[in-house]
Amino acid sequence: MKAQRLTHPAPIDSNPLSLAEIEPPRPGHREVRLRVHACGLCHTDLHIIEGELRLPRLPLIPGHQIVGTVDEVGNAVTRIRPGERLGVPWLHATCGKCEFCRSGRENLCDKARFTGYHADGGYAEYTIVHEDFAYPIPKQFSDIQAAPLLCAGVIGYRALRLSGIRAGQRLGMYGFGASAHIGLQIARHQGSEVLVFTRSKQHQELAMELGATWTGKAEETAPHRVDAAIIFAPAGHLVPHALRALKKGGTVALAGIHMSPLPEMEYALLYEERTLRSVANSTRDDVREMLQIAAEIPVRTEVETFSLEETNAALTKLKKSEIRGCGAVRVSG
């Protein structure tokens, strides 16, 4: 099979992914193999490829927003049959035994494994997943439309929940890429007003199209303070800006797996019971709930499509914030 493999971390504009012909994987106990149709682009892929996250293994096939069709099942598989269209997200496996797994917080599992990080991911023609960590894709979405839902959508949804935003309140979003453009639609569906802080005119225009009531740069003063805020951009310098825009008692949720250092700031920005919290991974329930809500709305994913051969160039565009909405690699089908 064809696959984009990482053999050593390097800046994405140096084309560190190399297209290789390798043996396709075979499913093991309770695993299924998917013929990959599409795989979404994610900033986490950049953090992995460029070495900002410690790599547990090399070589590695990145990619963790996978949509494909089951073409082979391993032994003891009971819930999935060949021909089913499934999605594979970031969370690849958990131990099921630690205190976090037992308390409904499997996203914090001590032995969690992640797709395109511990296990080979979706920038390839085939991938393997345990049947308990794969999800039926709602028929409303094409392969390309569905791919960004599996991480961008899920993290946007979890960030909304952890921000504490409620119907009738105002939400601030900092950065407006794949996750934010899906999260905005869910927030609007749930009755919140959304203000978007982004320097890109292209992203400001898309935010307004999708229902934002105001857009501007992070340094600008919005017409209203917000009840909660989510920072999607991996930029620590945005934290003081978000806290300044936040009402008393509000929460700023940090939606990225990696962020540049937070600047030193005055305690007054946190005082009056403001909360600053991270969003770490997601649970299987997050994925199921988000896919259901996305289908009900239905969410519109704005997707720029690339070929498998163009993966390096596509991720370079993502790094430069040159993709409107989100990007995805069309692998087959």
For the stretch 78-99, pLDDT in tens is 999 999 999 999 999 999 999 9
Q: What pLDDT is stored for residue 117 in this prediction?
A: 98
The pLDDT tens digits for 252-286 are 999 988 899 999 999 999 999 999 999 999 999 99
Q: What pLDDT is stored for residue 155 in this prediction?
A: 96
Q: How many helices (H) does the chain have, and how many strands (E)?
A: 9, 17
Q: Which regions in the chain score pLDDT beneath 50?
A: none
Q: How far apart are CA 128 and CA 84, in angstroms?
A: 14
CA dihedral (90, 108, 9, 200) in degrees, to 10, reads 70
What is residue 230's three-state secondary structure?
A: strand
Q: What is the pTM of this model?
A: 0.93
Q: What pLDDT is stored for residue 75 in this prediction?
A: 95
Residue 279, both tokens: 């969003």
Residue 178 CA, chain-centre distance (Å), reads: 8
What phi, psi does 252 have (nearest 5°)? -105, 120
Instruction: List, in sequence order, the alpha helices (H) in the chain.
Output: 43-49, 99-102, 143-146, 152-163, 178-189, 201-209, 238-244, 284-296, 311-319
Q: What pLDDT is stored for residue 125 in this prediction?
A: 98
Number of other residues whose CB lies within 10 A of the CB of residue 155: 30
Q: What pLDDT is stored for residue 69 in this prediction?
A: 98
Closest CA to 192 of 153, 224, 165: 165
What is residue 36's three-state secondary structure?
A: strand
For the chain, domains (ranges, CATH) are: 2-152+281-330 (3.90.180.10), 153-278 (3.40.50.720)
Q: How far apart are CA 274 and CA 94, in angstroms?
A: 32
